[in-house]
């Protein structure tokens, strides 16, 4: 029995610092699984352990006092972290109408709480929402459709433009609304077919996605992937990018043909496409969901290979462009492409002449979030990025928006870049512009 007591004490000493760390960082995206019930359980467990230690007389010794104090830390640290979060949230929600008008259209947020995202939408603090598997898990398509329609109704009632509503339906392993939507194979499965069959099937996949997403009220799909398929296996720490399973092919011409056909199918249904992840992550072995990553290939080589599909599909579609968190070392070795003015304004806007919507990959990814988030937010806006995505953990919106708010109040945001981006966003999604020009009623206005 004495041996078991010693083992228990050793475990308490070992676990106490971990519990304190988790409590202090309760709002970190990596600890999302502990939110809500997990946080409550941690606090209750800490208090119970303190009570048990006191009842057993551990307070009498110096070591015992230290152990009791260690287990008192988690509730205190968690309360402090929660207070910090609430104060930041209050500051964001208290932003003036002028600040909301200036900054809000540039943010797209994932959400779990409808009342919370509805408030952000009504106040103009966001310009778009991202829906994914947790928004539809255990619910019907009709329920999510009604929820999206209700958000758009609130926007109209507030005199604000419709929200961009995005989903991530690539096909294959990335189809976050399937089921209940149709599970479509990855576009990579078409690479071995004859060219005519490739395009027919890809267009059919696009129409299927487009028809079902439009029926939900989604007007932007975060697909297709235009990264070239890597010739070699990625490292074992690649848990989430998995580009080898998502990329269409190694041949840029095949990628362009299949992706173009898929985008045509999407656009026929009234849903915009998003080409990703420029400048290309097929050559990158590091998983940007967790780590910083560099693309060291010369620009001339990228223009002749990896970038061909992006330029080709952009030239004859109305797609948006997603910029990833990879550092393009030949152009800007000091920051990821997603917040590099040399990449966004220099290459995409300048050299390519693209004036459509540019958005970042999720800012809650480790390559950004584990570094200086505020610096990245301000630099992305100043680079000419139109939409900043906060998808995986919507609660991080308050931190990200607070960064933009601080940058605005300190006059660190480029007014000319903001005006140019505002003009692009006011025109709506490129697919919506085309529909308006042809007299077709926009999908979001049907609800």
Question: 337-355: per-residue pLDDT in tens?
Answer: 999 999 999 999 999 999 9
Query: Measuring CA to CA, which residue among 304, 315, 208 is closest to residue 260?
Result: 315
Which pLDDT band, with edges at 50, 70 and 90, does 59 fall under? Answer: confident
Q: What is the mean pLDDT of residues 47-72?
A: 93
Is pTM beyond 0.85 here?
yes
**Statement: residue 301 has pLDDT above 80:** yes
Q: What is the mean pLDDT of residues 308-325?
A: 96
Instruction: Name the DSSP letter for residue 225.
Output: B
Question: What is the pLDDT, as a whole number, of residue 235?
Answer: 65
| CA–CA distance, 392 with 86 (Å, rounded to integer) | 20
Query: Measuring CA to CA, which residue among 229, 232, 310, 314 is closest to residue 276?
Result: 310
Catalytic option among 361, 362, 393, 414: 361
Q: What is the mean pLDDT of residues 382-396?
A: 97
**Statement: residue 431 has pLDDT above 90:** no
Q: Which residue has the higher pLDDT, 38 or 446?
A: 38
287 catalytic? Reply is no
**Statement: residue 446 has pLDDT above 60:** no
Q: What is the mean pLDDT of residues 284-311?
A: 95
Q: What is the mean pLDDT of residues 270-283?
A: 96
Torsion angles phi and psi, residue 319, rounded to 5: -80, 155
Average pLDDT over all residues of the chain: 93
The two tokens of residue 426 are: 């006011």
Name, in order, each residue with C-beta under 8 angstroms of 309's C-beta and a sequence gap of 6 or more: 226, 228, 252, 255, 256, 259, 275
Determine contact, residues 132/176, Cβ cutoff 8 Å. Answer: yes
**Statement: residue 16 has pLDDT above 60:** yes
Q: What is the pLDDT of residues 193-252, one digit of tens each?
A: 999 999 999 999 999 999 999 999 999 999 999 999 997 766 666 778 889 899 999 999
From 154-158, 166-170, 209-213, 439-443, the region with the lowest mean pLDDT: 439-443
Determine contact, residues 286/280, Cβ cutoff 8 Å. Answer: no
Query: Measuring CA to CA, which residue among 257, 306, 238, 297 is closest to residue 277?
Result: 306
Cis before 347 (ω within 30): no
| CA–CA distance, 154 with 164 (Å, rounded to integer) | 14
Question: What is the pLDDT, as a whole number, of residue 60?
Answer: 87
Question: What is the pLDDT, as a whole number, of residue 57?
Answer: 87
The string over 202-212, giving b where at least 16 C-beta atoms fall within 10 Å of a residue's C-beta and e elsewhere, is bbebbbbbbbb
Determine contact, residues 15/8, Cβ cutoff 8 Å. Answer: no
Location of structure tokens 């699984």? 33
Query: How much is the CA Rg of the chain, to the nearest whole Å?
Result: 24
In DSSP terms, which residues pair with 387 in a beta bridge? 359
First to last CA, the chain: 67
Determine contact, residues 205/185, Cβ cutoff 8 Å. Answer: yes
Determine contact, residues 295/327, Cβ cutoff 8 Å. Answer: yes
58: left (phi over 0), alpha (psi -120 to 50) or beta: alpha
* 150 SS3 class: helix
Determine contact, residues 12/18, Cβ cutoff 8 Å. Answer: no
Q: What is the mean pLDDT of residues 11-20?
A: 96
Which pLDDT band, with edges at 50, 70 and 90, does 436 fall under? Answer: low
Question: What is the pLDDT, as a whole number, of residue 71?
Answer: 96
| CA–CA distance, 242 with 239 (Å, rounded to integer) | 7
**Statement: residue 429 has pLDDT above 80:** no
Question: What is the pLDDT, as a whole number, of residue 444?
Answer: 36
Torsion angles phi and psi, residue 273, rounded to 5: -105, 160
Catalytic option among 289, 290, 325, 339: 289
The two tokens of residue 154 are: 């609130």
386 catalytic? Reply is no
Question: What is the pLDDT, as a whole number, of residue 79?
Answer: 97
Name, in order, each residue with C-beta under 8 angstroms of 233's C-beta and a sequence gap of 6 or more: 244
| CA–CA distance, 97 with 7 (Å, rounded to integer) | 59
> 397-409 and 373-383 are packed helices; what angle lies between their axes, rounded to 10 degrees?
60
| CA–CA distance, 237 with 396 (Å, rounded to integer) | 24
Question: What is the pLDDT, as a whole number, of residue 5?
Answer: 77
Which pLDDT band, with edges at 50, 70 and 90, does 157 fall under? Answer: very high
| CA–CA distance, 342 with 148 (Å, rounded to integer) | 36
Q: What is the pLDDT of residues 108-146, one digit of tens each?
A: 999 999 999 999 999 999 999 999 999 999 999 999 999
């Amino acid at each position: 029995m004495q041996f078991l007591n010693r083992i228990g004490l050793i475990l308490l000493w070992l676990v106490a610092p971990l519990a304190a760390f988790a409590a202090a960082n309760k709002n970190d995206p990596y600890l999302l699984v502990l939110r809500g019930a997990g946080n409550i359980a941690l606090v209750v467990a800490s208090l119970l352990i303190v009570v048990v230690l006191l009842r057993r007389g551990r307070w009498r010794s110096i070591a015992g006092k230290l152990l009791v104090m260690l287990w008192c830390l988690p509730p205190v640290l968690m309360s402090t972290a929660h207070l910090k979060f609430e104060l930041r949230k209050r500051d964001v929600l208290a932003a003036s109408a002028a600040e909301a008008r200036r900054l809000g259209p540039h943010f797209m947020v994932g959400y779990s709480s409808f009342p919370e995202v509805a408030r952000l939408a009504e106040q103009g603090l966001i310009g778009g929402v991202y829906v994914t598997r947790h928004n539809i898990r255990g619910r019907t398509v009709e329920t999510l459709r009604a929820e999206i329609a209700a958000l758009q109704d609130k926007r109209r009632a507030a005199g604000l433009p419709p929200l961009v509503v995005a989903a991530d339906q690539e096909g294959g392993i990335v189809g976050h609304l399937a089921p209940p939507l149709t599970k479509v194979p990855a576009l990579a499965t078409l690479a071995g077919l004859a060219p005519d069959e490739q395009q027919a099937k890809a267009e059919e996949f696009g129409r299927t996605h487009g028809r079902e997403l439009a029926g939900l009220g989604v007007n932007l799909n975060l697909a297709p992937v235009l990264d070239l398929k890597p010739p070699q296996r990625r490292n074992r720490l690649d848990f989430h990018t998995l580009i080898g399973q998502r990329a269409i092919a190694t041949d840029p011409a095949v990628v362009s043909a299949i992706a173009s056909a898929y985008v045509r199918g999407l656009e026929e249904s009234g849903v915009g496409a998003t080409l990703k992840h420029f400048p290309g992550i097929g050559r990158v072995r590091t998983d940007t969901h967790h780590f910083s990553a560099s693309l060291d290939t010369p620009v001339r080589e990228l223009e002749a290979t990896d970038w061909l599909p992006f330029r080709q599909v952009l030239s004859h579609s109305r797609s948006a462009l997603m910029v990833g968190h990879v550092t393009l070392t030949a152009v800007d070795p000091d920051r990821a492409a997603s917040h590099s003015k040399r990449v966004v304004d220099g290459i995409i806007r300048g050299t390519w002449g693209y004036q459509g919507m540019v958005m970042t990959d999720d800012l809650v990814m480790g390559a950004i979030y584990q570094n200086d988030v505020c610096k990245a937010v301000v630099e992305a806006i100043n680079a000419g990025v139109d939409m900043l995505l906060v998808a995986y953990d919507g609660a991080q919106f308050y931190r990200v928006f607070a960064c933009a708010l601080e940058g605005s109040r300190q006059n660190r945001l480029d007014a000319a870049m903001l005006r140019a981006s505002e003009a692009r966003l006011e025109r709506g999604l490129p697919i919506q512009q085309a529909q308006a020009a042809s007299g077709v009623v926009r999908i979001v206005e049907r609800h």
